[in-house]
Chains A and B, each alone.
Chain A
Amino acid sequence: MEELKNKVRELLKAGTVQAVIGYRAGSDEKTARVAFVRQPDEADGLILDPRCTDNLAVYLLKPEVKLLGKLAIVARPTTARTILQLASENQLADGQVIVLGVSADGKAVVELASFEALEKFVGQVPAGLTEEEKVLLAKIEGMSREERWAFWQSEFARCIKCYACRAACPMCYCSRCIVESNQPQWIPVSPHDEGNLEWHLVRAMHLAGRCLNCGFCAKACPMGIPLNLLTQRLAEEAKAAFGAVAGGSATGEYALSMFKADDKEGFIR
Chain B
Amino acid sequence: MARIGVFVCHCGENIAGTVDCPKVVESMMHIPGVVHAVDYKYMCSDPGQRMVRDAIREHKLTGVVVAACSPRMHEPTFRRACAEAGLNPFLCEISNIREHCSWVHEKSEATTQKAIDLVRVMVEKVKRNRELQPISVPVTKTALVLGGGIAGIQAALDIANCGHKVVLVEREPSIGGHMAQLSETFPTLDCSQCIMTPRMVEVAQNENITLYTYSELESLDGFIGNFKAKIRMKARSVDMNLCTGCGSCYQKCPQKKIPSEFNTGLGTRTAIYTPFLQAVPNKPVIDRDNCLYFKKGVCKLCEKVCPTKAIKYDQQDEIVEVDVGAVVVATGYNVLNTGFFPEYGYGKYKDVITGLQFERLASASGPTSGEIRRPSDGKVPETVVFVACSGSRDPAKGLPYCSKVCCMYTAKHAMLYKHKMHEGKAYIFYMDIRAGGKMYEEFVRRAVEEDGVNYVRGRVSRIYEEDGQLVVKGADTLLGGMPLEIKADLVVLATAMVASPGAEELAQKLHVSYDAYKFISEAHPKLRPVETNTAGVFVAGACQAPKDIPETVAQASGAASKVLQLFSKPELMREPVVAVVNRTAPPLFSTCVGCFLCEKACPYQAIGREEIKARDGKVLKVVAKVNAGLCQGCGTCVALCRSKSIDLQGFTNEQIFAEIMAL
Residues of A within 8 A of B (CB): 89-91, 173-178, 181, 183-184, 186, 206, 253-254, 256-259, 261
By a CB distance below 8 angstroms, the chain B residues around A181 are: 644
By a CB distance below 8 angstroms, the chain A residues around B304 are: none
**Nearest 5 A/B pairs, CB to CB:** A184-B657, A257-B601, A174-B643, A176-B591, A257-B597
By a CB distance below 8 angstroms, the chain A residues around B588 are: 175-176
Partner pick for B595 among A90, A183, A184, A261, CB 8 A cutoff: A90
Q: Which of B223-276 contact A (CB under 8 A)?
A: none
Q: Nearest chain A CB to B390's CB is how many angstroms away? A: 33
Q: Contact string, B592-617, partner A, CB cutoff 8 A, digits 1/0?
A: 01111110110100000000000000
Q: Are A91 and B593 in contact (CB under 8 A)?
A: yes
Q: Are B591 and A206 in contact (CB under 8 A)?
A: no
- Given A173-B593, A184-B658, A258:B643 Cβ within 8 A: no
Q: Contact string, B619-663, partner A, CB cutoff 8 A, digits 1/0?
A: 000000000000000000000101111000000011001100100
Q: Nearest chain B CB to A198's CB is how many angstroms away? A: 13
- A175 and B601 alpha carbons, distance in the complex (Å): 21
Q: Nearest chain B CB to A246's CB is how many angstroms away? A: 13
By a CB distance below 8 angstroms, the chain A residues around B653 are: 184
By a CB distance below 8 angstroms, the chain A residues around B584 are: 176
Q: Are B643 and A91 in contact (CB under 8 A)?
A: no
Q: Nearest chain A CB to B377's CB is how many angstroms away? A: 48
Between-chain CB contacts (< 8 Å), 10 pairs: A89-B596, A175-B593, A176-B645, A178-B642, A178-B644, A186-B657, A256-B597, A256-B601, A257-B597, A257-B600
Q: Are A254 and B658 in contact (CB under 8 A)?
A: no
- A183 and B591 alpha carbons, distance in the complex (Å): 14
By a CB distance below 8 angstroms, the chain A residues around B600 are: 253-254, 257-258
- A247 and B644 alpha carbons, distance in the complex (Å): 24
By a CB distance below 8 angstroms, the chain B residues around A89 are: 595-597
- B597's nearest neighbour on chain A, judged by CB, is A257
Q: Contact string, B570-599, partner A, CB cutoff 8 A, digits 1/0?
A: 000000000000001000100101111110
Q: Contact string, B426-453, partner A, CB cutoff 8 A, digits 1/0?
A: 0000000000000000000000000000
Q: Are A258 and B601 in contact (CB under 8 A)?
A: yes
Q: Nearest chain A CB to B618's CB is how many angstroms away? A: 15
By a CB distance below 8 angstroms, the chain B residues around A91 are: 593-595
Q: Are A256 and B640 in contact (CB under 8 A)?
A: yes
Q: Nearest chain B CB to A217's CB is how many angstroms away? A: 16
Central interface residue in B588, B597, B642, B645, by most chain A CB within 10 Å: B642
Q: Are B597 and A206 in contact (CB under 8 A)?
A: no
By a CB distance below 8 angstroms, the chain A residues around B642 are: 174, 178, 206
- 9 additional A-B pairs beyond A89-B595, A176-B643, A257-B600, beta carbons within 8 Å, are A91-B595, A174-B593, A176-B591, A183-B654, A184-B661, A206-B642, A257-B598, A257-B640, A258-B600
- A91 and B642 alpha carbons, distance in the complex (Å): 15
Q: Nearest chain B CB to A93's CB is how many angstroms away? A: 11
By a CB distance below 8 angstroms, the chain A residues around B597 are: 89, 254, 256-257
By a CB distance below 8 angstroms, the chain B residues around A173 are: 593
- A174's nearest neighbour on chain B, judged by CB, is B643
- B622's nearest neighbour on chain A, judged by CB, is A90
By a CB distance below 8 angstroms, the chain A residues around B657 are: 184, 186
By a CB distance below 8 angstroms, the chain A residues around B591 are: 174-176
Q: Are B603 and A259 in contact (CB under 8 A)?
A: yes
Q: Nearest chain B CB to A1's CB is how many angstroms away? A: 36
Central interface residue in B588, B596, B597, B603, by most chain A CB within 10 Å: B597
- A206's nearest neighbour on chain B, judged by CB, is B642
Partner pick for A177 among B508, B601, B643, B654, CB 8 A cutoff: B643
Q: Are B640 and A90 in contact (CB under 8 A)?
A: no
Q: Nearest chain B CB to A30's CB is how many angstroms away? A: 34
By a CB distance below 8 angstroms, the chain A residues around B658 are: 184
By a CB distance below 8 angstroms, the chain B residues around A186 are: 644, 657
- A173 and B594 alpha carbons, distance in the complex (Å): 10
- B590's nearest neighbour on chain A, judged by CB, is A175
By a CB distance below 8 angstroms, the chain B residues around A184 are: 653-654, 657-658, 661
Central interface residue in B596, B603, B643, by most chain A CB within 10 Å: B643
Central interface residue in B588, B600, B603, by most chain A CB within 10 Å: B600
Q: Nearest chain B CB to A249's CB is how many angstroms away? A: 15
Q: Nearest chain A CB to B656's CB is how many angstroms away? A: 8
- A183 and B653 alpha carbons, distance in the complex (Å): 8
Q: Nearest chain B CB to A64's CB is how many angstroms away? A: 12
- A175 and B595 alpha carbons, distance in the complex (Å): 11
Q: Nearest chain B CB to A101's CB is how many angstroms away? A: 24
- A46 and B591 alpha carbons, distance in the complex (Å): 36
By a CB distance below 8 angstroms, the chain B residues around A253 are: 600
